[in-house]
Chains A and B, each alone.
Chain A
Amino acid sequence: MPSLRASARLSLVAAALSLLPACGGGGGGPSGPTFDGATAQAFVLTYADLLHAAYGDVVEAVSDLDGDVTFFLGAPTGPALDAARTRWTSIRPFYLQTELARFYDGPIDRASDGPEVFVNAWPLDEAHLDYVVGDAGAGLINDAATFPVLDEATLRGANELGGETHISCGWHALEFLLWGQDLTLGAPAGQRPATDFVVGMGGTAANQARRAQCLATLVDMLGADVAQVRDEWAPVTGDYRTELLGVTPAEALGRIMTGMGTLAFGELRGERLLVPVTTKLAEDEHSCFSDTTHQDHLNDVIGLRNAWLGSYTSRLGTRNVTGTGLLDVALTVNPSLAGNITTILNDLVTLLSSPVLVPFEVAIQGTDADPGRAQLLQAMAKLSEFNTAFSALAQQMGIDISTTL
């Protein structure tokens, strides 16, 4: 399965079909909507609002990062690089909180034009992009013969070229350019020197100007890609928002719940926790150069809880959303199950906030009795619990999630 994709690869279908566990009462599948339609429609509206707000936060934040990067490239110093890294780390959670909107062929990952592959594709093979220990000439930055100009078209064209981990765009490409390879287990994270971007006297590594151009171009591309998605969720003018509000509530909930269920089970539990917990390889962690993987996991779950509760707390407090949550819809169907899911999501936020998970590459080492792995195994079990409960809810709501694939 492909990589960003990789991500996408999720077990959309496994999740979807597990949503239809026992075929219900002798009949053939779900028997039609059982939820309150007006509440559902109100939730879909809130869902669109909170995605528009979250993507808006990301666009604004990437613009801030663009300012930091421009300042840094103007005078590449250690403190300026640190400032850009700090910004990357502080804005990243807001992107993770949008990931629940993947996996249903919506604006972020629609087959025809969704930019997800250019935004958050991983894992990333460093040697595709820049030098690595043992190979100073690696990567397209150091290959001016094949890639004479590192413009947007080149970087998009090189994304996934020759292998699913050959990633040259998005958050993780930026992360690698800002941090470099993380050569230690535990602190510190990647230690790329600012001088990698100094042209001429005092510069380190080769092709500093190309590296700088790559960094600047990638920030612009990220902002543009997320803005494209944000605009589809805009009130009145957003095409996808209009579409989603126009289909039946059952269809809309089918898509939304496919995204949420898939993110929780296939992507977060499967790709981002199970794989690295099994392999114990740092290269299987999501944000490995910056050692910030723990906050990715936490904010995926916070995004799920935002939709569940119908609320969003924005980066600067300017885009807060409070409205109808999926919880409110669930309460019209099965209050006890709805309460269980709220508890599970709160438990997940607690589990994934634990300091024993920082840094993630250390937490996955050792035995299953060690604090990090024990915590991760608990989180994985909790995500399976979520999958079971969420599947049961979909079934009781009469929603066939598989029909939205």
Chain B
Amino acid sequence: MTSPSLPAHAAAGRRRGAAAALAGVVLCVLGGCGGGGGGGGDSDPDEALLGGTTTVFNASALAFGFPLANLSAERSDGFFVGNSFFRSNWVTAPSSTTGRNGLGPLFHAASCSACHPSDGRAAPPAAPELVSPGLLFRLSLGPDVDGRPLPDPVYGPQLEPDAILGVPPEGRIEVTYVEEPGTYADGTPFSLRRPTLTPRDLAYGPLHADAQLAPRIGPSVFGLGLLAAVAEPTIVALADPADANGDGISGRVNRIVDGQGGPGRLGRFGWKASQATLHEQSAAAFFHDIGLTSEMFPNQGCSAPQIDCAAAPDGGSPEVGEDVLGPLVFYMHTLAPPGRRAPTEPQVVRGRVLFGSIGCAACHRPSLVTGELAGFPELSNQTIRPFTDLLLHDLGPGLADGVVDREASGSEWRTPPLWGLGLQAAVNGHTFLLHDGRARDAAEAILWHGGEALASREGFRNLTADDRAALLAFLGDL
């Protein structure tokens, strides 16, 4: 409203305009309109297109919520319907006023969007006494024969801090932090906060003596369809489980065997790559996080001591059918990654070079090519820039939660994508990162890296202040 805001707005409009025009041209070229492609030369002219021709150029608070740029009007119906299931709250059954019932009885949140706000990343609790819907806690007594985490005999695979009326919630985890000071090589101090987890208000007795807590922040959900479309051989080819090339990096694939023997299916979603498909990931989230049964999870998650839970009415068998899961999974496939804003700005370019030279790009792969994903021509054969290899890496004891999940050890994590990193503040109003939100910004997230990434972490710590700023500027442009 004020005149001072106008120039900035106008400038932003120009930047976006230029980027969008670029997308239009690229789309056109790929669409068979002839004319030579992107040229060649030193820099990648498509660098802004993090999601190939699916990329959407929008830097607003809505940046993560758009459909794939190449999704046709004719195919967009599932996106809208899926979005309605993603954003809306589920309510207690029975209910005369809604079709979205069956919440709980025990649950973590009432909607998908509670943990993935605006399709983006959740924040950890703002104070120790608070429960954040975006941070949940899995429970494990250690792996079973297939590597699956063994659930707590009373509390199950996840602590549920909320419940419908008449059912006691399971409890909560208090998160407190200890500051650990450090210094960059140039003497500049920094401080990292290490979380301490304390169970509180446990309603059904103590946790099992062997129970380990695995905190998990709700990550952003755009671009997942493109990750689903990366062909398995492409990912396997990036793996180097025995570090045969001696670079200190041993990417490993996670595998889901389902008790059927054989090599199992490749895991690619979740903080430890323990989910093979978006369909399975979504059904698991419906069940564990919102308390909704489905074909894959037909029984309510109430243990023997949880009598009120078992006696509560349900919202149908199952509570979520394919009429809901189908559009929701389509939505999960068709949220577009955002485009970069200023890939040619000199500081950003320098940061990109440093990102490679200190070794970040060895795991946060700058580019992948998708294969054919059945039913999704939009996602197929795209050159994408998610900055992940979808592989597991040992990040050392500092980040380890000790929880084995399938092939993933207690200190291994799947490389998280970095696309959209620079828009997280605009969309979600915060810059917290890592699996439990302990890092308050990107620099802290880098400094938490250890294990295979220790050399890169030290590379960052040894940079000059100017070079650190350049690297962060590059990340901020993603």
B230 at the interface (CB under 8 A from A): no
A/B interface sample: 30 pairs, CB < 8 A:
A1-B66, A2-B87, A3-B113, A11-B79, A13-B58, A14-B71, A14-B72, A18-B72, A22-B31, A23-B32, A23-B33, A27-B33, A28-B28, A111-B426, A127-B89, A127-B91, A134-B95, A162-B133, A165-B88, A183-B97, A266-B76, A270-B76, A271-B80, A281-B100, A283-B99, A283-B100, A284-B88, A400-B20, A400-B21, A402-B21
A49 at the interface (CB under 8 A from B): no
B188 at the interface (CB under 8 A from A): no
Write the B62-102 contact mask toward A (1 if CB under 8 angstroms, else 0).
10111101111100110111011011110110011111100
**B-binding residues in A (CB < 8 A):** 1-3, 5-6, 8-9, 11-15, 17-18, 20, 22-24, 26-29, 105, 107, 110-113, 123, 125, 127, 133-135, 162-165, 181-183, 228, 231-232, 239, 243, 265-266, 270-271, 274-275, 278-284, 384, 387-388, 400, 402-405
Cα distance, A13 to B110, chains bound together (Å): 29
Query: Which residue of chain A is the closest to B66 with respect to CB atoms?
Result: A13
One of B6, B92, B98 near A239 (C-beta < 8 A): B6
Name, among A270, A271, A404, the residue most crowded by chain B CB atoms within 10 Å (CB to CB). Answer: A270
Query: Which residue of chain A is the closest to B34 with respect to CB atoms?
Result: A26
Q: Are B65 and A2 in contact (CB under 8 A)?
A: yes
Cα distance, A123 to B70, chains bound together (Å): 27
B471 at the interface (CB under 8 A from A): no
Across the A-B interface, give the 8 residue pairs with the lowest CB-CB distance, nearest first.
A1-B65, A111-B60, A23-B33, A270-B80, A2-B118, A23-B28, A164-B113, A164-B87
B213 to chain A, nearest CB (A): 23
Name, among A232, A387, A400, the residue most crowded by chain B CB atoms within 10 Å (CB to CB). Answer: A400
A271 to chain B, nearest CB (A): 6
Q: Are A2 and B62 in contact (CB under 8 A)?
A: yes
B49 at the interface (CB under 8 A from A): no
B111 at the interface (CB under 8 A from A): yes
B353 at the interface (CB under 8 A from A): no
Known pairs A2-B62, A164-B113 / 18 extra A-B pairs, C-beta < 8 Å: A2-B118, A5-B118, A28-B24, A28-B29, A111-B60, A113-B1, A123-B87, A123-B88, A125-B88, A127-B91, A134-B92, A181-B97, A239-B6, A243-B6, A271-B80, A278-B77, A402-B24, A404-B20
B198 to chain A, nearest CB (A): 23
Cα distance, A107 to B17, chains bound together (Å): 18
* Cβ–Cβ < 8 Å partners of B28 in chain A: 20, 23, 28-29
Q: Are A6 and B87 in contact (CB under 8 A)?
A: yes
B114 at the interface (CB under 8 A from A): yes
Name, among A20, A107, A387, A403, the residue most crowded by chain B CB atoms within 10 Å (CB to CB). Answer: A403
Q: Are B81 and A279 in contact (CB under 8 A)?
A: yes
One of A1, A111, A133, A403 near B83 (C-beta < 8 A): A1
Q: Are B76 and A14 in contact (CB under 8 A)?
A: yes
Q: A265-B73, A402-B20 are in contact. Are A5 and B62 (CB under 8 A)?
A: yes
B307 to chain A, nearest CB (A): 21
* Cβ–Cβ < 8 Å partners of B110 in chain A: 163
